[in-house]
Amino acid sequence: MDKVVVVGSLNMDTNLSVPHIPVVGETIIAKGMSLFKGGKGANQAVAIARLGGDVEMIGAVGDDDNGRKIISGMKKEKVGTAGLIVKENTPTGIAIISVAENGDNNIIVHSGANYQLGKEDIDKNLDLIKAASYCVLQLEIPLEVVRYTIDLCYKNNVQVILNPAPAVAEIDAEILSKVEYLLPNESELNIIAGKEVSEEKMIESCREIIAKGCQNVIVTLGDKGSLWVTENGYRYFEAMKVNAVDTTAAGDSFIGAFTYMLAQGKDVIEAIEFATRAAAITVTRKGAQDSLPVLAEVL
């Protein structure tokens, strides 16, 4: 089994159960509130660990109760915590998540300690990166730290799996040329492409990204499945039909399960099919990390 290192965010999530996602200017009453451990980086690391993967986490939390709870939770999940940094006089990142009755959600994030993660923190944990075969990153930490980490991975022959979320338009060719797998969702693909991408033009937009040097683009399409595009071909994968109650962490579950399978030596097709099943389980449960499946469930 190959080692994986995840470099990214750790948050405490506040989930609000709402009848529908509010529109601009609308006030609605939440039907319930729950606290969950989250953050895209932490979610993806836990997703890998729950499946039995060998994973280390590099990231930052604040010197507060939320930070202590998150570190304790990561240890219980058997995620390596040697790369977790506690930032003094800084709050742990938080996310406010509205979850509608049909499972749709929207998310507001206050980055807190996540945006205090610096290049020096990456340097201190370079051994964790060098020991890994795959490095998973997102964009809930400073972009310059993401770029710096990708450069280190490239120099040390560590394959990069980049989840460009939340999406930014300035993912340039220098970054993309060092990314083995880019995994956006539809809205993130639109932002990266700089235009609204129709279903008919999606493959074309993915090919434009690949022309900048990225080897594989895998677009997660929610209940429509996913699309894998390379320079030479493409393939659609159907989603599993389930009763979705909360789509929070569905993408994180997919990415974690996909990475887990690559670390097991499986090919991309097997990895996507497995990740599709893991994500299908995740959306049938509430919460972020609480919704992530174990290996026996996916099998």
pLDDT at 288: 80
> In which band, very low, low, confident or very high, does the pLDDT at 193 lie, cut at 50, 70 and 90?
confident
Average pLDDT value over all residues in the chain? 94
Of 166-180, 181-195, 249-263, 285-299, highest mean pLDDT: 249-263
Residues 259, 263, 264, 269, Cα dihedral to 10°: 50
User: Each residue of 77-102: pLDDT tens digit?
Assistant: 999 999 999 999 999 999 898 989 88
Half-sphere exposure of 187 (CA within 13 A, CB side): 6
> In which band, very low, low, confident or very high, does the pLDDT at 24 lie, cut at 50, 70 and 90?
very high
- Give residue 247's identity as a one-letter amino acid code: T
Q: Which of 88-92, 161-165, 194-198 bottoms out in mean pLDDT, i.e. has the lowest?
A: 194-198
User: Each residue of 212-239: pLDDT tens digit?
Assistant: 999 999 999 999 999 999 999 999 999 9
- Token couple for 257: 């399960």
CA-based nearest residue to 142, from 158, 161, 159, 119:
119
Alpha-carbon span 211 to 116, nearest angstrom? 33
pLDDT at 95: 87
- Single out the catalytic residue among 13, 64, 246, 252: 252
Q: Of 109 and 60, which is predicted with more confidence? A: 60
Residue 275 in this model has a pLDDT that exceeds 80: yes
- Per CATH, the number for 4-298 is 3.40.1190.20
> In which band, very low, low, confident or very high, does the pLDDT at 196 lie, cut at 50, 70 and 90?
confident
> In which band, very low, low, confident or very high, does the pLDDT at 15 lie, cut at 50, 70 and 90?
confident
Is 252 catalytic? The answer is yes
CA-based nearest residue to 282, from 120, 89, 43:
43
pLDDT at 163: 97
> In which band, very low, low, confident or very high, does the pLDDT at 198 lie, cut at 50, 70 and 90?
confident
Q: What is the mean pLDDT of residues 128-135?
A: 98
Q: What is the mean pLDDT of residues 183-203?
A: 86
DSSP 64-97: SHHHHHHHHHHHHTT-EEEEEEEETT-PPEEEEE
pLDDT at 169: 72
User: Each residue of 40-81: pLDDT tens digit?
Assistant: 999 999 999 999 999 999 999 999 999 999 999 999 999 999
Any idea where the domains of the chain sit in the sequence? 4-298
Q: What is the mean pLDDT of residues 4-15?
A: 95
Alpha-carbon span 225 to 101, nearest angstrom? 21
Alpha-carbon span 117 to 256, nearest angstrom? 22
